[in-house]
C-alpha cells in the first residue's frame, strides 16, 4: 500500500501544479488578448500608412496563397497595400508593400522577420542602412530583382537571400495589383 501512495502522491501534486499553471495562463491570456490585438492592428495600420498614406483602407477579398496574406485598397484610388510573406535565409519575412495606381512601388515596410541580426535583419531596422535598402524599391515596377540577378536593387551586404526574398515579395505585390487594377 505504501508503494502505491508513494507513486500516486507525486502524480497528484504534479497534476495540481499543472492545473494552477494552466489557470494562470488562461487568465493572463484573457486579460491581455484585447490589448495584444489592438497593438497588432495599430502596427499594421502604421505599416500601411508608411508605404501608402491614405485616409482609409478597405480589405479586398484575396485568397491567401502562401505569399500574399492580404490586400487592401487605399481610399481615393491612391493604390493598394499588399501584405506578403516570403521565405528568407532564417525563416519568413513578412512585409507590407505599397503600390500606387500607376502600378509602381510606393514603399515597403518589413513587419516581421527572423533574419540574422546585423545582416538580413537590417532590412527591417530603422537605421540608415535599412532605410537606404528599402528606399531602393520606391518607383520600381514590373519584375524587381537584386543586381546579382540582373535587377536594380543593391542587396544588403551578406544578406543576398533576404534581399532576394524582399524583391520577390515586391514583385508578387506588383503582379497582384496589376490583376486588381
How high is the pLDDT of residue 1?
67
The Cα 47–Cα 96 span in angstroms is: 7
Answer for the pair 128, 156: CB distance below 8 angstroms, yes or no: no
Answer for the pair 73, 54: CB distance below 8 angstroms, yes or no: no
Q: Where are the alpha helices (DSSP H) in 63-150?
A: 128-135
DSSP annotation of 153: B
The Cα 149–Cα 96 span in angstroms is: 23
How high is the pLDDT of residue 172?
94
How high is the pLDDT of residue 175?
92
The Cα 37–Cα 33 span in angstroms is: 6
pTM to 2 decimal places: 0.78
How high is the pLDDT of residue 112?
86
How high is the pLDDT of residue 72?
93
- pLDDT by residue, tens only, the chain of 181 residues: 677 777 788 888 999 999 999 999 999 999 999 998 898 888 888 888 889 998 889 999 888 777 898 999 988 888 999 999 998 888 899 999 999 999 999 999 998 887 777 777 778 778 888 888 899 999 999 899 998 999 889 888 888 888 999 999 999 999 999 888 7
Amino acid at each position: 500500500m505504501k508503494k502505491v501512495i508513494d507513486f500516486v502522491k507525486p502524480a497528484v501534486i504534479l497534476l495540481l501544479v499543472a492545473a494552477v499553471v494552466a489557470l494562470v495562463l488562461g487568465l493572463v491570456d484573457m486579460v491581455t488578448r484585447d490589448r495584444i490585438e489592438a497593438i497588432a492592428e495599430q502596427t499594421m495600420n502604421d505599416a500601411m500608412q508608411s508605404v501608402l498614406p491614405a485616409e482609409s483602407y478597405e480589405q479586398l477579398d484575396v485568397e491567401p496563397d502562401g505569399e500574399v496574406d492580404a490586400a487592401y485598397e487605399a481610399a481615393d484610388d491612391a493604390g493598394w497595400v499588399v501584405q506578403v510573406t516570403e521565405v528568407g535565409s532564417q525563416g519568413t519575412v513578412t512585409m507590407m508593400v505599397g503600390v500606387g495606381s500607376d502600378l509602381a512601388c510606393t514603399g515597403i515596410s518589413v513587419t516581421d522577420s527572423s533574419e540574422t541580426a546585423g545582416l538580413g535583419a537590417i532590412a527591417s531596422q530603422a537605421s540608415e542602412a535599412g532605410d537606404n535598402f528599402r528606399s531602393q524599391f520606391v518607383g520600381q515596377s514590373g519584375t524587381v530583382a537584386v543586381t546579382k540577378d540582373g535587377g536594380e536593387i543593391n542587396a544588403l551586404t551578406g544578406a543576398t537571400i533576404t534581399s532576394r526574398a524582399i524583391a520577390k515579395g515586391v514583385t508578387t505585390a506588383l503582379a497582384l495589383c496589376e490583376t486588381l487594377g
